[in-house]
Each structure stands twice: as C-alpha cells, then as structure tokens.
Structure 1
Amino acid sequence: MPLMLHLVSSLLALGLGALVLLLRKGTLLHRSLGVVWVAAMAVSALSSFWLGGGVLPLVGHLGPIHLLSVWVLVALTVAVVSILRGQVRRHREWMLGAYVGLIGAFIGTLMPGRWMATQLGLW
C-alpha cells in the first residue's frame, strides 16, 4: 500500500507541479491546484519513509533519496508559511525548490538498482 500511495502521489505532484508553475500566479485556479499539489507532495514525501532506499542505505532502510523527502517537507512548510505572510517572492523560491527536489527524487528513482528503473527496463 505505501508503494502505490507513493507512486500515485508522486506522479500527480510531478505533473500538477509543472502545470501550477506554468499557470498565471495568484488566480483561484493557481491557488486551488497549488493546494492539491502541496498535499500530493507531502503525501509523496511522507510515504517515502516506508519504502526502502535501495542502494547505499544510510540508516536502516533509509537511503540518500530520503534526504530529498526531508528537503521537500521543509521547502513546502517554508513556502506555505511564506505565502500566508504575504512573502510572495520567498514563497515562489521555496515552491520552486520543492519542485526541483521532486525532480531530483524522480531522477534518483531511475538510477541502477532502483525499483522504478527496473520496472521501466532501464538497467
């Protein structure tokens, strides 16, 4: 179950994040999709802690890719607090950082020995 939750939320966040970044900022659509995106990102990051790190475990089953999950959770928190305080530039920078973290994590899943890479027949 954690794997499916992680896959669905991650892929939703990956696609929706690109859309939110392309939309005109401050509109109702941007804010509404942004809320869904933040939720998907948080579920993706949190659910990753129940999954193995694959190569190079650091602590128990957690690997380097889990450091990106921590980064995403921090970035989301700072970004949401920033927009609630009216700090639009800071919000934008941290949201972009969270999305870059997601892209980094996705690239990490494509490395040799990772489940996603195996399923896609990359290695």
Structure 2
Amino acid sequence: MTYLQLAYLHLATVIPPFLIGAFILLAKKGTPRHKRLGKLYMVFMMLTAIISLLMPAQIGPTLLGHFGFIHLFSMLVLLCIPLGLIAIRRNNLRAHIGNMIGVYLGGIIIAGAFAFMPGRLLHSWMFM
C-alpha cells in the first residue's frame, strides 16, 4: 500500500472517532448509547493507530528510518485504549476517564495539530 493510500485510510479511520469522541465527552455517561459509541470509538482508534504506524515519518528525525516523534501518539493510543477498557471493566472510573481523555487529547487533538504543521501531507492538502 502506498503512503498516499495509507494517508487516505488513516483519515477515514480518524475522522469518525474525532466526532464520536467529542459527542461522548459531551453526552451523558454510562448509558447504553455511551457504551455502544465507546466501543465503536475504541475500534476506530485502534485501527487508526495501527495504520499510522505503517506510515513512515516524513519530517524530523526517525528511528529505524521509519518512526518519528508523532508515532509516540500511536503508541499512546495502543496502550491507553486497552487500559481504559480494563479500567471500566474493573469499575475504576477514574482510570477509565483518564485513559479515554488522554486518547482523545493526545491521539486526536495533539497528533492532529502536528499533522497540520508545514511539511506534512495534511498541511499541503489543506493550505496549498
């Protein structure tokens, strides 16, 4: 799969959780709808994190000629999603909330902001 194809796939898997996550953060918690949307959110976030790890870093230093600093956010997602799921199954609401907010802020908002920086593909699509 080419870098461009991975980029489109990544966008297709990150836009839904951006919207779903915002809704979940604003809506009433613990409802059947929250649980259904939360599962969908987790699946999308895991997929988007895996896809992003397949995309080589385009700017900055790399590890093994592939991974850049932005890939740390993918690792955050791959760690925090299962931890958040385990936490809620153990009725540890504080840990669940912390992991899920961390995923949304780190995995979507902060990583997304970096994706719009000059030199990155998304920046060139949006601003050139």
Q: TM-score, normalised by structure 1?
A: 0.94
Secondary structure at 1:54's aligned position in 2?
A: coil
Consecutive unaligned residues of structure 1, counting only runs of 5 or more, are none
**Does residue 70 in structure 1 map to residue 75 in structure 2?**
yes
1:1-36 deviation line (CA, Å, top 9, x unaligned): 422221111111111110111110000000000000
The residue type equivalent to 1:78 in the other structure is L
Which residue does 2:7 correspond to in 1? 3
Aligned mates of 2:61, 2:109 — CA distance in 1:
21
Pick aligned residue for 2:102 from 89, 97, 111: 97
- Range moving further from structure 2, 7-16 or 50-59: 50-59
1:15 is aligned with what amino acid?
L
Q: Which runs of 5+ in 2 are unaligned?
A: none
From 105, 121, 126, the counterpart of 1:120: 126
User: In the aligned structure 2, how far is the partner of 1:33 from the partner of 1:121?
Assistant: 32
Q: Shift of the alpha carbon at 1:62?
A: 1.5
Task: Report what 1:56 is aligned to.
Answer: 60
In the TM superposition, structure 1's runs of 4+ consecutive aligned residues that sit over 3 Å from their partners are none
The whole-number CA distance in structure 1 between the counterparts of 2:84 and 2:26 is 17
Percent identical across equivalent pairs?
A: 33
What is the TM-score normalised by the length of structure 2? 0.90
RMSD of aligned residue pairs (Cα, Å): 1.1
